[in-house]
Amino acid sequence: MLIAKQKRKENIAEYILYLYQVEDLIRAFKLDMDIIEQRLVSSYKADDKTKAEITDWYTNLVLMMEREQIREKGHLQFLKNLIDDLDDFHLKLMESKKEPLYVQTFQTVAGLITELKQKNPDAKNEVDLGITAIYGFLLLKMQQKQISIDTTEAIKRISKWLSDLSKLYRDFESGELSFE
């Protein structure tokens, strides 16, 4: 919860990726709050009030995952909505050309995104493709699988794009950037 709050303020793409990890962690603990409290909440160096808030946060995530029937796989609806919002923002940036450096950065990954779309036709939009690619890459790294240099370079470029998008999104949310 504490990390999620910080990431939400700083970098929306990292926030989404972090919550994908949390979903998988909750699944690894079989959506069992007793295990989550034992293995996760107890490891936080925090006062009792903060630990109670952290427990509530995990409890709410577990309840949402159960309600949305994503016990085995899938992502929470609010994360899907956030990705859609971020993609809408991306499209506005591309259309308005208000941020030419952003447009240029996206153009460096547009071919990669097209390739990813062919491999993942179920992806809803360009941001979804980018985040899914990065998360897949992170999972491969955690599993200590061999990753080609080309894949690593592609992920670096996609990460740069999503980082730039996240910064502009933060600016937009804070009122420092507008389309008017």
Dihedral, CA of residue 112, residue 118, residue 143 and residue 158, to nearest 10:
20
166 close to 14: Cβ distance less than 8 angstroms = yes
Q: Where are the beta strands (DSSP E) in the chain?
A: none
Mean pLDDT score across all residues of the chain: 95
Confidence of residue 2 (pLDDT cuts 50, 70, 90): confident
Q: Model's pTM, two decimal places? A: 0.93
Residues 6+ positions from 119 with CB-CB distance below 8 Å? none
User: Which residue carries 């992170």 as its tokens?
Assistant: 138
Tokens matching residue 35: 């295990």
Query: What is the Cα Rg of the chain in Å?
Result: 18
Confidence of residue 179 (pLDDT cuts 50, 70, 90): confident
Runs of H (alpha helix) within 29-70? 33-39, 48-67
Please write the tens of the pLDDT for every residue from 4-55. 888 899 999 999 999 999 999 999 999 999 999 999 999 888 899 999 999 9
Write down the pLDDT at residue 4: 87
Cα angle for residues 98, 103, 105 (degrees, 5° grid)? 140
User: Which residue carries 């506005």 as its tokens?
Assistant: 92
